[in-house]
Amino acid sequence: MTLEEPNTRTRLLAHAREVYLEGGAAHFSLREVARRVGISAAAVYRHFDSKDALLGAVCEEGFRTFLGYLLRSLGERTPLARLRAAGDLYLRFALENEHDYRVIFMSSVAAIAVGAAKADPAVTSPTFLFLVDRVRECTASGDLREGDPTAMAAGIWAHVHGLSSLRLCGHLASAGDDAAFAFFFRQSMDALLVGLAP
């Protein structure tokens, strides 16, 4: 394999994600990532300037995939249907991309990779702003009560994240398989939205 292979960067990202999930920030090693890819540790620097740059790229890739899921909700006809679909797609992303989900939402790697320059990268990300926009349009349509759309979006995010994370950690197994859990998830989301209705 040569360093110029187009998939080297992709393989670096995939193995970096795995190494991070196995040992966390304290045990993350560019040398181990390089070993798994089959290149020298020095060769990693042909693709990434630093360990933080590599982890940042892992997060960016995860968020890019996640946003692709959320954008599918825009095909729904009404604001409330788009918000509900965004919730369903949040869970679907978590179940279908567990490693990405764990890195970007269940670890500190996003904060480490972004650094202290941004006080709260999660609430300034395009994916969170997408949710804020769904809340705004539901407020405008009368499906949700008036209020701070950022605060309401944060509450919805906490709800869907909590359920998704519990599922990935093996909790709520009594809900059944993934299809049954998705039904349970939708019922819980609908109950939350009833509570946010005017």
* Cα–Cα distance measured from residue 118 to residue 87, given in angstroms and rounded to the nearest whole number: 26
Q: Is the pLDDT of residue 4 over 50?
A: no
Determine the pLDDT at residue 123. 61
Contact (Cβ atoms closer than 8 angstroms) between residue 82 and residue 134:
yes
Q: Which residues of 100-109 are buried (b: 16+ CB within 10 A; e: fewer)?
A: bbbbbbbbeb
pTM of the model: 0.85
Pinpoint the residues of the chain covered by CATH 1.10.357.10.
59-195
Kindly report, residue by residue over 35-46, the tens digit of the pLDDT.
999 998 898 998
**Domain 1-48 homologous superfamily, CATH:** Homeodomain-like (1.10.10.60)
Q: Is the pLDDT of residue 21 over 60?
A: yes
Q: CB-based burial of residue 175 (10 Å sphere; 0-12 exposed, 13-18 middle, 19+ buried)? A: middle
Determine the pLDDT at residue 94. 96
Kindly report, residue by residue over 68-80, the tens digit of the pLDDT.
999 999 999 999 9
* Cα–Cα distance measured from residue 191 to residue 169, given in angstroms and rounded to the nearest whole number: 23
**21 or 158: which carries more pLDDT confidence?**
158
Determine the pLDDT at residue 51. 86
Pinpoint the residues of the chain covered by CATH 1.10.10.60.
1-48
The owner of tokens 């940042």 is: 56
**Domain 59-195 homologous superfamily, CATH:** Tetracycline Repressor, domain 2 (1.10.357.10)
* Cα–Cα distance measured from residue 82 to residue 137, given in angstroms and rounded to the nearest whole number: 10
Residue spans of alpha helices (H) in the chain: 8-23, 30-37, 51-71, 79-96, 98-105, 109-114, 121-124, 126-141, 149-168, 178-195
